[in-house]
Amino acid sequence: MITIAVATPVGAVEMAGEPADALVRPELIVTGEKIARPLQRTTASVSVTSADTIAKQDLLTVYDVLDRIPNVMVDGNRTTFSIRGIDAFNVSGSGEGPLASVYLDGAALPRLVLASGPLDLFDISRVEVFRGPQSTLQGRNSLAGVVLVNTVDPDFDWSGKARLLLSQEGGGRRAAMALGGPVVQDQLAFRISGEALQADGFARSATTGRYADQRQALTMRGKILITPDAVPKLSVLAAVTHDRHERGAFYIELDPPFAGRDRLVTSDFPDVRQVGSTLGTVTARYDLSPQSKLTLLSNLSRFRFRSSADADRSATAGQISLIDEPTTSFQNEIRFQFRQSWATGLIGAFFLREKRDYLFSSHQRLSLKSLGVPWQLQAAGISPETVDTVIALYGGALPIQNSLSQPQSVQNFAAFADFSIPLTSRVHVRLGLRYDHEAQTRSVSQTAAIDQALPDPAQSPSPALAPIVSQLNSSLRTLVAGANGSDRARRVAYDAWLPLMAVTYDLSDKLAISGSIRRGYRAGGSGINQQRGEAFRYGPEYTTSYEASMRSNLFDRRLTFNANLFWTDWEQQQIALQLTAGSLFDSQIVNAGRSRLYGFELEASVTPIDALSFQFGSGYTRTRFSGPAPHPGFADMDLQGKEFPRAPRWTMSAGASYARCRGFVADINAHYRSPYFQTLTDQNDRDIPGRTIISGKVGWKARAVSAYLTARNIFNVQQREQFFLDVDGRKRGAVSDPRILGFVLEGHI
């Protein structure tokens, strides 16, 4: 099918041995706003992908889901995504926390974990993607939106499944199983699941001849549900997930003599990113009365991201960079929920403590161009020809070794409330408010040194070059010495009030329209100028989003059509600006940006008969910086009128599915995105072309065993999806995966 399970019923979980015609199409319930609401009462723009849709479309990771949702775009290497044109990490290369959060069973995943972490979809019950600011209820790092991933919970009926997926070369092999059932009937139930992945990938090293993007993963999960007879109104759900993911090279060569379809890298040292995760969550619910309940959620998570890479991505030996980022987070949330004739709502409090260490070390050759040296020499009156000769004496690079340590701790406290009040039988008002307090403590330490001899002025090919080389040597030594620095642990704190207001009018019991105003927020932070070794700080940024929505559910829910219009103003935007023109490392973050974005989402689903369904989704987003002009004291960088990078204007998806619980099944789906700008600075042409990917699946489903043939990217579309100009001046990036044929064998009880 397609993208939008907005129309896929939450309760429509397929059960083995039950004919499809017996399935009931209950009203879709959205849970991501902490109160379970029918979609018709949810004013936020949300897509819900159910376990049924995940199975029908053979979706393997959360990125597969995101790639099919209107106004959501996944980057070429599947390390980040954007919602309504806002990249989940940042728009302008800046900011401490993400702009969108991903939660797994209530645990927030750190930023770097999203590059290669626990995002596989086996034994997942649903994925909810909220577009637009969710800062009132979800709090920290949800200015652009939120992705909520929920795994299958235990129950008191035995169930199990197993899956074996075999793909052609590069696509990999997956094996998975899940089993659950009662331990003590009606009091204690369990569910365990696991999945293993092994894939060679599609890229090879032109230097070593080996596979360069191999992937492997192991995910194990256990869940326990306790509903004790001794305390009949209490339920406790405990979940533990342990995960290890590893993947290879991210960027292939795009410049001649290579082509993107060659999928080659030139590194002599393999790039490897490893993520280890352990997440433990306990959710306790107690029914105080039929109209009220108390919920307590506690989570303790440990993550470790490690990266080793060829610093210059070439065949030159000895260029290595290492990153080690361990993160520990603890969060508590308590909510009181009630339902009365005059209002439905909740009151709650949230606390987060996160500790993160970031350690970076490298031996590398920094491009003199990336340091702005050619520009500075020409600014001193030296001719371009002479500049080229001088740069050649250095081999175009400065050999250095450096290390950077940035330990940080964050404490976030919030109190929030959300009420839905019926003014009449047709008019409902929703009011929400959050007080958010965030405190950050960070220290920074950086060392840098030149680790090879610089050119000897006396050995210059021309006497006229000797003073230039001598002066440049002195400047480079001063530059590297200035990069050494530290900033003792300092504490910064931010406070914000984040309101929400919405009005819903029921035109009928099948059709509703709404309007809402939401405040979005990301706290400020601090950093270090890597070239100068100087610490800096910056303040929070805010968005105000205005939305109008329509929700419909017609003909016994056989036809749904939902739409959202939005307009967002962004103020005090955190922008990374350069202090020295041409120098990539001489930059810092300031609150100098102002922008706006607007657009719409349309999603529809038609089920003419129980076994056949059609879906369609479309999203349109326009983004534009509206100011200011260059920031005083910084190199020229006028953002006026520019669009956000990685922000396609159009995203579309469509699909059809035929499936019965027993018998022939088939699915065809397509998703399209229009061209977009790769960077913020160079926007002469939309340098990432538009593309349409079509995938499908056919097979047979029996009572206990099913078998399918799958095809991803049927027409073998291989287009550039990401690129950047590397420090050596070469273009590197990512190309869409080629056609992948696979065979899936499943068993279920």
Residue partners of 123: CB distance under 8 A and separation at least 6: 151, 152, 161, 176, 178, 191, 193, 195, 221
Query: Is the model's pLDDT at 225 over the cut of 70?
Result: yes
Q: Is the pLDDT of residue 13 over 80?
A: no
pLDDT of residue 635: 53
Cα three-residue angle 287-183-218, rounded to 5 degrees? 95
Reported as a single tens digit per residue, the pLDDT across 488-499 is 788 889 999 999
pLDDT of residue 2: 32
Does 141 or 244 have the greater pLDDT score?
244
Note whether 11 and 24 are within 8 A (CB): yes
- The string of pLDDT tens digits covering residues 402-432 is 898 989 999 999 999 999 999 999 999 999 9
Indicate whether 137 pLDDT > 90: no
Report the relative pairing of strands 359-367 and 397-405 from DSSP bridges: antiparallel
Which burial class, exposed, middle or buried, applies to 373 when counting CB atoms under 10 A from its CB (0-12, 13-18, 19+)? buried
Q: If you average pLDDT over each of 80-89, 150-159, 453-462, 520-529, which comes out highest? A: 150-159
CB-CB contact of 308 with 249 (8 Å)? no
Residue 690: pLDDT band (50, 70, 90) is very high
Per-residue pLDDT at 32 exceeds 60: yes
pLDDT given at position 325: 92
Name the strand (E) or helix (H) holding 471: helix 466-482
pLDDT of residue 463: 86
Tokens of 335: 């909510």
Mean pLDDT of 53-75: 92
For the segment 616-634, what is each residue's pLDDT rounded down to a tens digit? 999 999 999 986 655 555 5
Q: What tens digit of pLDDT does each residue of 587-616 get?
A: 788 888 899 999 999 999 999 998 999 999
Structure tokens at 235: 């339920």
Find out whether 621 and 71 touch, Cβ atoms under 8 Å.
yes
Average of per-residue pLDDT values in the chain: 87
Q: Is 237:252 a contact under the CB 8 Å cutoff? A: no
Q: What is the pLDDT of residues 633-669, one digit of tens each?
A: 555 567 788 899 999 999 999 999 998 878 999 999 9
pLDDT attached to residue 582: 58
Q: What is the pLDDT of residue 581?
A: 62
Asked if the model's pLDDT at residue 8 lies above 50, the reply is no
Q: What is the pLDDT of residue 4?
A: 33
pLDDT value for 584: 61
pLDDT at 21: 37
No. of helices (H) and no. of strands (E), the chain: 5, 41
Q: Count other Cβ atoms within 10 Å, centred on residue 32.
A: 24
For residue 727, pLDDT over 80 is answered with no
**Averaged pLDDT, 49-68:** 91
Confidence of residue 182 (pLDDT cuts 50, 70, 90): very high
Q: Helix H segments across 235-304?
A: none
Q: Give a three-class secondary structure readout of 688-699.
A: ECCEEEEEEEEE
Per-residue pLDDT at 535:
76
- Distance, in Å, from the CA atom of 88 to the CA atom of 95, rounded to the nearest integer, reads 11
| Residue 123 pLDDT greater than 60, yes or no | yes
Judge whether 340 and 700 are in contact, CB under 8 Å.
Answer: no
* Among the ranges given (144-153, 249-258, 564-573), the one the predictor scored with the smallest mean pLDDT: 249-258
Q: pLDDT grade, residue 130 (50/70/90)?
A: very high
- CA dist 617 and 67 (Å) reads 12
Q: How confident is the model over 165-188, as a mean pLDDT?
A: 92
Confidence class for position 233, pLDDT limits 50, 70, 90: very high
Of the candidates 231, 147, 223, which has an alpha carbon nearest to the alpha carbon of residue 187? 231
Q: State mean pLDDT over 723-745.
A: 87
Q: Which residue segments constitute the domains of the chain, with CATH numbers given? A: 5-502+698-748 (2.40.170)
CB 330 within 8 A of CB 293: no
Question: Residue 410: its pLDDT value, please?
Answer: 93
| Confidence at 23, pLDDT banded by 50, 70, 90 | very low
Residue with the larger pLDDT of the pair 657 and 580:
657
Q: Which residue has the higher pLDDT, 582 or 367?
A: 367
CA dist 482 and 474 (Å) reads 12
Look at residue 486 in the predicted model and tell me its pLDDT: 78
What's the whole-number mean pLDDT along residues 156-178?
92
pLDDT higher at 14 or 693: 693
Query: Residue 425 is encoded by which pair of tokens?
Result: 């039988």
Average pLDDT over residues 320-325: 90
Residue 685 burial class via C-beta count within 10 angstroms: exposed 0-12, middle 13-18, buried 19 and up? exposed
The band of 120, judged by pLDDT with boundaries at 50, 70 and 90, is: very high
The three-state secondary structure class of 374 is helix
- Radius of gyration for the chain, computed over Cα atoms and rounded to the nearest angstrom: 27
pLDDT recorded at residue 459? 86
Phi, psi dihedrals of residue 228, rounded to the nearest 5°: -70, 140
Name the percent of the chain lying above pLDDT 70.
93
- Region 710-730: what's the mean pLDDT? 86
Is the separation of the CB atoms in 542 and 517 below 8 Å?
A: no
Go through the chain and tell me how many residues it has: 749
pLDDT at 14: 32
Tell me how far the alpha carbon of residue 192 is from its chain's centroid.
26
Given a cut of 60, whether residue 127 has pLDDT beyond it is yes
* pLDDT of res. 411: 94
DSSP annotation of 93 reads S
pLDDT of 15 reads 31
Q: How many CA atoms lie within 13 A of 651 on its CB side?
A: 29
Q: Phi first, then psi: what are they for 519, rounded to 5°? A: -110, 130
Q: Binning pLDDT at 50, 70 and 90, where does residue 19 land? A: very low
pLDDT of residue 316: 75
Q: How far is CA 647 from CA 49, 341, 362, 670, 742, in A?
A: 23, 44, 33, 19, 32
User: Alpha carbon of 420 to those of 337, 341, 500: distances in Å?
Assistant: 12, 11, 11
Q: Average the pLDDT over 111-128 and give the result.
A: 87
Q: For residue 58, give both structure tokens.
A: 């053979």
- Residue 596 three-state SS: strand
Which amino acid would we find at residue 47? S
Mean local confidence (pLDDT), 510-522: 93
Backbone angle region of 372, left / alpha / beta, with phi > 0 → left and psi within -120 to 50 → alpha: left
Mean pLDDT in residue range 271-298: 94
